[in-house]
Amino acid sequence: MKQALVGARIFTGEEFLDNYALVITGEKIEALVPRAQLDSSILQTPLAGGVLAPGFIDLQVNGGGGAFFTNDTSVSAIQTMLDGHRPTGTTSLLPTLISDTREVHQAGVKAVADAVAAGIKGVLGVHVEGPFFDMARRGAHNERYIRTMEQADIDWLVASVKAQHDFKVMLTLAPEHAAPGQIKQLTSAGVVICAGHTDGHYEDVTAALNEGLSGFTHLYNAMRPTTGREPGVVGAALEDGNSWCGIIIDTYHVHAASARIAYAAKPKGKMYLVTDAMSTVGSPEKSFQIYGETIYEKDGCLVNAEGRLAGSAIGMIDAVRLNTNWVGVELAESLRMASLYPAQFMQADNYLGRIVSGYRADLVHFTDDYRVTHTWVAGQPCTHI
């Protein structure tokens, strides 16, 4: 079916367009045309002002809609997470597994493969966060699962990538605990390696970058900071011009000035927004269980019994709003950080992250006060308010 979305200011991924119509045919974007030139025979879907933008892409989603992926490594849990995050504007995501046994992680990767094979839209791959971390930087990850990487771990991750051609496998690890050549084995096979939960030194990170490490998970959090004499993980991340950095903008994980410093240091396009969301997003629940302990919402953030931050309670529209209104980034750039840049990191920017002819019709419409009203995934609409 052909339809035209009209009445909103359109952000293409590059620029804002006023008084334009977006024509969708089936799953794809067909055209952007001046509204005055729109064929009157095309069914019109009116949008009451606001912004129509590429759908948001979240590369770190632990849970949503009441489902926590590590606790429930099923296709139905993935669908619940997608449904829970869609009202926040997220149309694609990486279900994320936190530190656990190899068997749990293997089950999670299989569930993602099954979801993709079943044709569930919006699953770009899987993010395996842990368990190859530094104990001192483990955050809320349970210490009983933290360990060093073995060849058996590499073998199954490589096999997972080779078996699948439709999604990415991302692994977050502490590079200082990887033996020389281990990261290279993984990146050569196509595994996306990110540094996180790491107490490594600058030299550890640069060595890992030379082996193909290409990203940093929740920049600033759970990693060695920068000082005058020790650049640390943060310094290595900000210095490197080729790698990507995810960042949690929820007013708790990162100071606004620290975010601005990172944005100034990294080349444009190398910083992207993530939520690190837990099961409470898109759910009425205010607490949930990890490793048998209760994580609860306190003053808008999620903490465990030790008071450690345990993910976030935000959706992507919140990250966009805070990045714009709290950090002070222009809306256009915040939208790129929520869609185009993560698409580029995942090498999915040939069909996601822009509103151009031929791209998949993954879209979000939100009001001027950042309330998501509609989303489209592969052209299929959903109304949220």
Query: Is 64 annotated for ligand binding?
Result: no
Cβ-proximal residues to 367 (8 Å cutoff; 6+ apart), any chain: 48, 49, 50, 373
Residue 354 marked in a binding site = no
1: exposed, middle or buried (Cβ count in 10 Å: 0-12, 13-18, 19+): exposed
310 among annotated binding-site residues: yes
| 221 in a labelled binding site | yes
Is there a cis peptide before residue 131, judged by omega within 30 degrees of 0?
Answer: yes
Strand partners, 51: 9, 366
Q: Is 353 marked within a binding site?
A: no
How many angstroms separate the CA atoms of 12 and 355, rounded? 5
| Cα–Cα separations (whole angstroms), residue 372 to 22, 24, 348, 379 | 18, 20, 24, 17
165 marked ligand binding residue: no
Cα–Cα separations (whole angstroms), residue 157 to 36, 94, 145, 168, 303: 53, 16, 18, 11, 31
The reply to whether 153 belongs to the active site is no
Say whether 253 counts as a known binding-site residue: yes
Pairing label, strands 90-97, 56-61? parallel
208 belongs to an annotated ligand binding site:
no
Per the annotation, does 117 bind a ligand? no
- From CA 275, how far away is CA 347, in angstroms rounded? 20
348-to-89, 91, 168, 195, 314 alpha-carbon distances in Å? 18, 13, 10, 21, 24
3-state secondary structure of 324: helix
Asked if residue 189 belongs to a known ligand binding site, the reply is no
Residue 197, marked binder? yes
Tell me which residue has tokens 């064929």: 39
Which of 58, 134, 276, 349 is catalytic? The answer is 276
Which residues does the annotation place in the binding site? 129, 140, 197, 218, 221-222, 229, 253, 309-311
Which residues does the annotation place in the binding site for substrate? 140, 221-222, 229, 253, 309-311
Annotated catalytic sites, by residue? 276
Which residues does the annotation place in the binding site for Zn(2+)? 129, 197, 218
